[in-house]
Structures are given as C-alpha cells and as structure tokens.
Structure 1
Amino acid sequence: MAADALKPRSTAAAPWLMSAPALLLFLGLLLVPLTMTGLLSFNAFDGSRGVLPEYTLANYADVLGDEYYHEIFLRTGGMALAVTFLCVLFGVPETLILARMRSPWRSLFLVVILGPLLISVVVRTLGWAILMGNNGLINEALLALGLADSPVKMLFTMTGVVIALTHVLMPFMVISVWAALLKLDPQIENAGLSLGAKPLTVFRRVILPQIVPGVLSGSIIVFALAASAFATPSILGGRRLKVVATTAYDEFLSTLNWPLGATIAVLLLIANVVIILGCNRLIERRYSAVFDR
C-alpha cells in the first residue's frame, strides 16, 4: 500500500527531475545575466565616479524622454520592418519554387540557400562591404550597363544595411515557410485545380492560408534578429548610422555608462517581447481558424 501511494508522486516528479539540468543551464546562462542587466539599468552613474550603488529611474527617463533615442528606436524598428518585408517578399516565392523542384536539384538549392548560415555574419558583412563600395562589383556593373552615371552610395546608408541584413536573415524565413509547406498535402492543390480553379486562386485560397503560420513565425524570427543586429549595422552603417544595438555598445565601451547601456538593452528586449507576443497571438488565431475549417 505504501509503495502504491508513493508511485504517483514519483511519476509526477520524474519530468521535473529529468529536465532539471536543462533548466539550471537555462537559468545560469540566460535569466541570471538578464536579471543582472535589468538591475544594472537602475543604478545611478557619475562621469567621475562611475557606477554608483544608488538606484534611480533617471536612466529610463533619459531614454524615454530624449528625442535622440526616439529617433534611434524608430530607425531600428523601420530597419527591422523593411528587412522582414523583403524576406517575406522574396523568401516565400523562393520556398514555393524550391518545394516544387525535383531531386537532386531541390536538395542542391536548399543547401545553397542555407549555406550562408555556415559562414560568420562578420565575414558575410565584409563581403557586402566590398560589393557595395564605390569601386565594388555592384557599382561597376551599374556603370557598365549605363544604369548609373556615377557610383551609387550604398555604404554607410540604411539601404545598404537593409540589403545585407535581408541576405543574412533570408534563410530563417525559408526554413519557417519550408516547415509549413511540408505539412501541406499536395492533393489539396490538385483537387482545387481539378475542380476548375485557376492556379492563382488555388494559391490564394488553398495554399496561402495554410502557410501563413510559417510566414508569421519566420517574420517573428527575422524581425527579432534584425532589430537586435549589431555586426551588420556597425560595419555597413558606420558610426553615424546608429541603431539600438550599436548605441548600447557605445554606452558600454565608449562612454562607460553601463547603466544607460543596460537601460537601452532592456528597452530593446521589452519591445521585442511585446512584438513577438503580439505576433504569437496572430499565429494562434490563424491556426485556430484553419483547424475550425
């Protein structure tokens, strides 16, 4: 009887005991640094004495009330939205074409698309810096084709940063849409065509509603990574074209105002979490609408 009474408790505790190492690793590597950063954002700072053991909301008041930081956050949000839009615009058709290829071409092109993930983002960004220079391959091609009379300035501009980030983050969109396409039954599309629907109608009313969750998932990933990107905006944007990540970096290492840098990082995290939660709600509604049908 005693053994039978203890059996349900041990069974209920087994999942927690098995996941305890992973939970401890998660707490140690993620939550503890985030908590320390959040606490640091409330510390006072003095230019001559450094970080002070005093707590204040002045850092948040400075960031939230200064138009300089408003411009940086708006620039970062606009950059992330532009990159997300371009990834959807090019990534979804690219994945649809890839899904309709036959072996071995499909596997080959999938490796080509995902191959850049194996290369350091710094190396890829430096490659784009070479391509976008005044004497780079892109400008030389534009001048040779007569599409431009003088070199087009792409380095140290938002246009160049958006183009490079789109290339860097495109595989994440392709992976998300690809996962949604794998769940799509091709017979449904064939049934729509056999009933007389045009291919565009089948895509709009049959395929698109079922891959929307994948598109939204990819958009969340791309937006979050673009908003927090550092290497690409730092290399291609330069010192003048500041985004949130480079601003936090400058506060930590240039002015040594760690509390202000932590405040900027915390506000970026909060903005990303709010946007991700909102998109998750859209995904849940989309899934429920599909399943209700």
Structure 2
Amino acid sequence: MNADLAATTPIPSIMPAPAPAPAPARHAVPWLLTAPAFALFATLLLAPLLLTAVLSFNVYDAATGVKAGQYTLEHYAHVFGDDYYLAIFWRTFWISMLVTLICVAVGAPEAYVLSRMRNPWRAVLLLVVLAPLLVSVVVRAFGWSMLLGPEGLVNGVLRAVGIGPVKMLYTEIAVVVALVHVMMPFMVIAVWTSLQKLDAGVENAALSLGASPFTTLRRVVLPQVMPGVLSGSLIVFGLSASAFAIPGLLGGRRLKMVATVVYDEYLHELNWPLGATVALVLLGANLVVMLSLNRMVEGRYKKALG
C-alpha cells in the first residue's frame, strides 16, 4: 500500500520556477504616459518660440528682406534704446495692471456674493457673468465703440445731464473699459473655484466666537481665497498685456500697445525680425512681472496662514 501511495504521490520538482518577464521600470511609467502630451506641447509651443527666437536675431534689409544665416543684436538694441518702444511697453503694462486691479476689486466680491446666493438666482447671475465669453471679442469691441463714440449712448447721457460730450473713443479709457469687460469672467471663475473649497462652518465658527463680519472676511475668508485671486490676476494681466483686438479697434492708430506694434512690424513694415524681437521682449517682461507677482502674493498668503 505504501508503494502504491509512493507511486501516485507527485514528486516535487527541484527545478527553479521560470523568472517573470521583466517589467518596465516604475520611474519610467510617468514619462511614458506624458510623452504624447509633451510631444504635442513641444510641437505647438516650443518649436514656434524657438523659430521666433532665431528669427529675432536675423539681419533685415529693407530692400532684400530677411537675410537667412546672418545674425545680429541690432533689433534688441533698437527696442531697448528707443524711447518710442519703451513708451509703448510702459503703456501696455500700466493699462494691464489697472485692468487687473479693477477686475480684482469688482470680480472677487462679485464671486463671493454669487457663492452665497441660492438657486435659481445664482445660476442665472453666473450665466450673465459668463455670457460675454460666448460673444466674439471683435463683436464686443465694436459694441463698445458704438457706446463710447462721439454720438454713442454714453455721450448722449452726458449731454442730457449737461456735462457735454467727452472724448473716450481712441483713448486709454476705452481700452481699459473694454478690457475689463472682456477679462472679468476669468477673474470671477478663478475666485469662484477657490470659494467652492471654502467651508462655511469656519465662517460661522468665527462669528460665533465674537468676530465681526469684516474681521471674519479679512482673517478667515480672504486668506483662503487668495490662491483664486492670484491665479485670476495672472490670467487677466497676461491676456491684457498681449491683447490685440481691443487696443487695435478702440485705441486706434495712435494709441498703440505692444501687440499692435508686433502686427504692424510683421504685416505693414514687413520687418519680421524686429516684430519677433518685440514679441519676445513682451514675453520675457510678462514672465518677470507675473512671477514677481506670484512670489509676492504667495509670500503674503503663507504669512497670513502661518
């Protein structure tokens, strides 16, 4: 019987099991997953920027055009050494900063009020705020040109109250008003997103402990909303500094901003290297201002939370 059991019992193999197929390294998986997106990013953004940077160093001759293979720093020296371009950069940045401050002063409280409203009024008013995004910027610019023109509605009201017509079209006033109208939804959306993460119980706890509504707003709500205000400010400033349609249609030929100068250099003067230089200087200045603003606001935000 023991012999029969020994005959039927399988003898364990002493050969080692085959090793599993080698799996890809764990650290390589994120790179493989992001490779298609990075390739698309490099193709659509980095490659054009690189070509623009190379173009900005090309020699330009008014008679023969761009001279490929010949490079110079003359265009950068011309931009930084000419008061005409420096004045345009200064106008672009102070208008963009003013638009950003107005959007923060109006958009942040507006988003806070909307977040405290109940449906259906909250949905209706939020749709009203975001409705301008459904209309082309060119259409909105023409609408403001009719409102702010010499015979427009605004001057008609001013005449009715005895103030008289005021020149607003083709001035900084028209550009600022139109840019605020175009950029306001971006600020409201950014602040609204931060407010969705805000716990209403924290406000109620502060009020129940004796804090005034203003103190609660300043010490509890505002520090938690600052990331949304910061992101909205960066979006508004960057889009305002690089805006083309609004300054081109409401600023006219005399009130130039950097984007309109780039357009003129490319299509009117046909000086592509100088246009590329102005565009790259605008990009660099934008990055410096936005990174400085980000560092300053984030430092105060961390200090307030700490």
Secondary structure class of the residue paired with 1:3:
coil
AA aligned opposite 1:228: S
Corresponding residue for residue 174 of structure 1: 188
1:193 partnered with 2:207: yes
Long gaps (5+) in structure 1: none
- The answer to whether the 8 Å contact 2:129/2:185 transfers is yes
Among 214, 224, 238, the alignment partner of 2:252 is: 238
1:216 partnered with 2:230: yes
Q: How does 1:23-62 map to 2 (within 5 A)?
A: 23-53=38-68, 54-62=70-78
What is the rounded CA distance, in whole Å, between the counterparts of 2:182 and 2:61 in structure 1?
39
Cα distance change on mapping 1:228 and 1:161 into 2, 3 Å: same
What is the rounded CA distance, in whole Å, between the counterparts of 2:23 and 2:294 in structure 1?
38
More helix by share: 1
AA aligned opposite 1:22: A
- The answer to whether the 8 Å contact 2:223/2:301 transfers is no
Give the stretch that moved more between structures: 185-194 or 63-72.
Answer: 185-194
> TM-score scaled by structure 2?
0.90
> TM-score scaled by structure 1?
0.94
What is the CA deviation profile of residues 25-63 of structure 1, one whole-angstrom value per residue up to 9, with x for unaligned ones? 111111111110010000011110111121000000000
What is the rounded CA distance, in whole Å, between the counterparts of 2:303 and 2:23 in structure 1?
41
- The answer to whether the 8 Å contact 1:213/1:286 transfers is no
Deviation of the 1:236 alpha carbon:
0.1
> How many residues are treated as equivalent by the alignment?
288
State the identity %: 57
Corresponding residue for residue 248 of structure 1: 262
Cα distance change on mapping 1:2 and 1:130 into 2, 3 Å: farther
- The answer to whether the 8 Å contact 1:59/1:259 transfers is yes
Among 54, 69, 86, the alignment partner of 2:102 is: 86
What is the CA deviation profile of residues 115-147 of structure 1, one whole-angstrom value per residue up to 9, with x for unaligned ones? 11111111111111111111111111222233x
What is the rounded CA distance, in whole Å, between the counterparts of 1:284 and 1:176 in structure 2?
16
Cα distance change on mapping 1:197 and 1:288 into 2, 3 Å: closer
AA aligned opposite 1:43: N
AA aligned opposite 1:3: P
Secondary structure class of the residue paired with 2:66:
strand
Among 97, 102, 125, the alignment partner of 1:109 is: 125
What is the rounded CA distance, in whole Å, between the counterparts of 1:191 and 1:143 in structure 2?
52
TM-align CA RMSD? 1.5
Long gaps (5+) in structure 2: 1-17
AA aligned opposite 2:111: T
Secondary structure class of the residue paired with 2:59:
strand
Corresponding residue for residue 119 of structure 1: 135
- The answer to whether the 8 Å contact 1:125/1:235 transfers is yes
Corresponding residue for residue 20 of structure 2: 3
